[in-house]
Amino acid sequence: MQNNQKIIAIFGGGGFLGKHLMRQLTKLDYRVKVATRNPYLKGYLKPLGNPGQIELFKTNIFYQEDVKKILKNCDFVINLVGILYETRKQKFNQIHAQFPHLLSNLCNEFGIKNLVHISALGVKEGHVSKYMQSKLQGEKNIQDTFRSSVILRPSVCFGPDDKFFNTFASIAQFSPILPLVGGGKTKFAPVYVGDVAKAIIKVLELNNLKPKIYELGGPENYSFRKLMEILLVEIKKKRFLISIPFGIAKFQSYFLQMMNNPLLTPDQVDILRYNNIVSGEHPTLKDLGISGKTIQSILPQYIYRFRAGGQFG
C-alpha cells in the first residue's frame, strides 16, 4: 500500500450505512481500520476494498486499550455506532453518550484531524424519548471535548438492505393490514443511504475550528401513511392501512418489545409523536453540494423482490 494513503478508523462499520460508506472510501484510496466485536462475522467487508486496504480489529468499544489500538496512526475517525432499542447488555446511554465521550477524549490524545459522528434527525432538548435524549447527550459530549468534529443527523435511511421499507414489505407478505401509529401523520424526510455516505466523505476533510452540525433529509417530506402507500404500489399489494392511536400503540409496544427483534418499543412510540424532518436551523445536504436521491428513483431497484413475480411481477 502507498504510504501517502490517509487512514480512517470506523466504529460500527459492519451495518447498513457502513457497507455503503466503505465502498466509497476505498474507491477514493483511503485505508480503513474497522472496529468490530466479532471480526470473524464481518469478513464480507474485506472484498469492498483492495487486498490489505480494509483491516478488521476485534474491539470492545468500552475498553480504552482496544480503542487506542484502532486510533493509532489514523488521520480521521467515523463513529456509526448506534442501537434502535435497548437490550440487557446494550443501553442507549452507554452506546450513544458514554462511548462518544470516551472516543472524543482519545481523538484529542491521538491528534486526530477530524471526527465524524452520526446522530439522528429530530434530536432536541426536552425530547421524551430516551433514544433521542441519549443522542443529544452524545452530541454534547463530543462538542465539549473535541473541537474538530462534525455531527450528521440523518432522517430515516433507505436503500438496499434498509430496515425501514424491507421490514414493512416483509410484514405485508403475511399480514392483511399495516398499522399506522398515531394515524400515520408523523412526517419523515427519508434520505438515501448513498447520499449519507457521500455527506460523510464531504465533511471528512473539512478544517473545523469548532464543531459543526448538518441535518440530512431527502428532497421531499412524507407522512408515514404516504410512505406505506408508495411501498404498497411498488410491491403491487393491497393492504388495509389501519390507524392506531398513540395510547393503544404504547400499550401494545410493551408486549412487542419482548420479541428478539422488536417490531415496536414504547420508546419508538414516543419518537413517532414528533416529525422527523429538517428544522432549517442547520446546514443540509444541499450545503454540501448533494442534491439527494428521491425514493421513487431508488426504491424500485431493490423492493421488487417482495412482488409476487419478483422483478418480473
Torsion angle (degrees, nearest 10) of CA 177, 228, 164, 121 = -130
pLDDT for res 263? 87
Question: In this structure, are residues 16 and 163 in contact, taking their beta carbons and an 8 Å threshold?
Answer: yes
Quick one: which of 187, 157, 145, 212 has its CA closest to 275? 187
Q: How confident is the model at residue 2 (pLDDT cuts 50, 70, 90)?
A: very low
Q: Is the pLDDT of residue 28 over 60?
A: yes
Q: Is the pLDDT of residue 83 over 90?
A: yes
Q: Is the pLDDT of residue 292 over 70?
A: yes
Compute the distance between CA of residue 72 and CA of residue 65 in angstroms, rounded to an integer.
11
Q: What is the mean pLDDT of residues 235-251?
A: 96
Give Cβ neighbours of residue 154 (< 8 Å, ≥ 6 apart): 118, 120, 121, 191, 196, 216, 217
Q: Which residue do the cell numbers 462538542 mark?
A: 143
Compute the distance between CA of residue 120 and CA of residue 123 in angstroms, rounded to an integer.
6
* Residue 305: Cβ-neighbour burial (10 angstroms; 0-12, 13-18, 19+): exposed
Q: How confident is the model at residue 98 (pLDDT cuts 50, 70, 90)?
A: very high
Q: Is the pLDDT of residue 87 over 60?
A: yes
Distance of CA 304 to the CA centre of its chain: 23
Question: In this structure, are residues 43 and 26 in contact, taking their beta carbons and an 8 Å threshold?
Answer: no
pLDDT tens-place string over residues 120-129? 999 999 999 9
Q: How confident is the model at residue 115 (pLDDT cuts 50, 70, 90)?
A: very high
Query: Is 76 part of any domain?
Result: yes
pLDDT for res 3? 43
What rounded mean pLDDT belongs to the chain? 94
139 φ, ψ (degrees, to nearest 5): -60, -45
Question: In this structure, are residues 32 and 10 in contact, taking their beta carbons and an 8 Å threshold?
Answer: yes
Quick one: which of 28, 200, 32 has its CA closest to 115? 200
pLDDT for res 1? 42
Question: In this structure, are residues 181 and 188 in contact, taking their beta carbons and an 8 Å threshold?
Answer: no
pLDDT for res 240? 96
- CA max distance for the chain: 59
Question: In this structure, are residues 116 and 78 in contact, taking their beta carbons and an 8 Å threshold?
Answer: yes
**CATH code at 96?**
3.40.50.720
Q: Which residue range forms the structural domain that includes residue 104?
A: 7-159+189-218+280-285
Q: How confident is the model at residue 5 (pLDDT cuts 50, 70, 90)?
A: confident
Query: Is 91 part of any domain?
Result: yes
State the pTM of this model.
0.94
The HSE-up count of residue 70 (CA atoms within 13 Å, CB side) is 32
As a whole number of Å, the CA-based R_g of the chain is 20
Q: Is the pLDDT of residue 310 over 70?
A: no
Query: Is 292 part of any domain?
Result: no
Compute the distance between CA of residue 207 and CA of residue 77 in angstroms, rounded to an integer.
14
Query: Is 177 part of any domain?
Result: no
Torsion angle (degrees, nearest 10) of CA 304, 305, 308, 311 = 60
pLDDT for res 94? 97
Query: Is 176 part of any domain?
Result: no
- % of the chain with per-residue pLDDT over 90: 87
C-alpha cell recorded at residue 126: 426536552
pLDDT for res 311? 66
Query: Is 248 part of any domain?
Result: no
What's the 3-state SS for 225-253?
HHHHHHHHHHCCCCCEEEEECHHHHHHHH
Q: How confident is the model at residue 291 (pLDDT cuts 50, 70, 90)?
A: very high
pLDDT for res 313? 55
Query: Is 111 part of any domain?
Result: yes
pLDDT for res 4? 67
Q: Is the pLDDT of residue 197 over 50?
A: yes
pLDDT for res 32? 96
pLDDT tens-place string over residues 205-224? 888 888 899 999 999 999 99
Distance of CA 272 to the CA centre of its chain: 17
C-alpha cell recorded at residue 142: 463530543
Total domains in the chain come to 1
Query: Is 249 part of any domain?
Result: no
